[in-house]
């Protein structure tokens, strides 16, 4: 039961601290990073990976 309490407390903490803008920014940065990674890989290989 103690572990469940701490997990619930963590969830409440993240709900209070993480706003929609933070999550959106994080996803945008991740998508940009993945796109950059794919572009750099395709520059070495070929343009087959340019699906994004």
Provide the pLDDT confidence category of residue 37 given band limits of 50, 70 and 90. confident
With contact defined as beta carbons under 8 Å apart, do 35 and 52 qualify? yes
Report whether 19 contacts 11 (CB < 8 A): no
Whether the predicted pLDDT of 43 surpasses 60: yes
CB atoms < 10 A from the CB of 18, how many? 11
pLDDT of residue 36 exceeding 60, the answer is: yes
How much is the pLDDT for 3?
A: 55
25 pLDDT above the threshold of 80:
yes
């Amino acid at each position: 039961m103690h572990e469940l309490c701490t997990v619930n407390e963590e969830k409440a903490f993240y709900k209070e601290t993480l706003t929609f803008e933070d999550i959106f920014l994080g996803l945008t940065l991740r998508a940009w990073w993945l796109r950059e990674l794919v572009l750099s890989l395709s520059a070495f290989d070929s343009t087959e990976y340019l699906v994004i």
